[in-house]
């Protein structure tokens, strides 16, 4: 039962990130809902929902799976955006948002191990950039 719930949470998160809301929008939405999360925790929760802290699972699942009933979600929809650069909550080209979508796709098609390898490679390359794209994910692979 728990595995089915986590699979549904991943599928709903994947659809949400691809068609409805940006990573920054999800972060702001969770903050408004009283569940502030840093980038690493949120990125990990969306990419690997089965690894969410068991204390957070019910509320996160409720917020994501039943999002259409949530007024907070309606505030952060991307479909009405005409200029993503003007509002970071609606910027679908944000590097962190695009990385998450790419990794969710890899996870779906090739499995968790390949997604984690791709993430590790991307974060290593990012550390070598003059201006990193994902500095808030530097601690993703540190043991918590």
Instruction: Indicate the average pLDDT of the chain.
Output: 82
Q: What is the pLDDT of residue 29?
A: 82
Nearest Cα to Cα of residue 30 among 60, 6, 51, 56: 60
- Of the given ranges (10-14, 108-112, 120-124, 134-138), which has the lowest mean pLDDT? 10-14
Query: Which of residues 7 and 101 earns the better pLDDT score?
Result: 101
pLDDT digits (tens, 9 = 90+) for 25-46: 888 888 888 889 999 999 998 8
Cα angle for residues 15, 18, 20 (degrees, 5° grid)? 80
- Residue 90, pLDDT > 80, answer no
Q: What is the pLDDT of residue 131?
A: 96
* Burial (0-12, 13-18, 19+ Cβ within 10 Å), 66: exposed
Three-class SS of 19-62: HCCCHHHHHHHHHHCCCCCCHHHHHHHHHCHHHCCCCCHHHHHH
Determine the longest span between alpha carbons in the chain, in angstroms.
Answer: 46
Neighbours of 106 (CB within 10 A): 18
Segment holding 63, helix H or strand E: helix 57-65
Q: What is the pLDDT of residue 142?
A: 86
């Amino acid at each position: 039962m728990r595995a089915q719930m986590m699979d549904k949470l991943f599928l709903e998160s994947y659809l949400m990130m691809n068609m409805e809301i940006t990573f920054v929008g999800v972060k702001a939405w969770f903050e408004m809902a009283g569940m502030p999360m840093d980038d690493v925790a949120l990125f990990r929760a969306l990419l690997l929902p089965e690894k969410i802290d068991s204390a957070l699972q019910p509320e996160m699942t409720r917020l994501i799976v039943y999002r259409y009933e949530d007024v907070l979600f309606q505030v952060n929809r991307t479909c009405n955006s005409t200029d993503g650069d003007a509002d970071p909550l609606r910027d679908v080209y944000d590097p962190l948002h695009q990385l998450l979508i790419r990794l969710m796709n890899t996870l779906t098609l090739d499995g968790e191990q390949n997604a984690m390898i791709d993430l590790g490679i991307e974060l290593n390359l990012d550390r070598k950039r003059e201006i990193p794209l994902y500095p808030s994910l530097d601690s993703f692979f540190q043991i918590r």
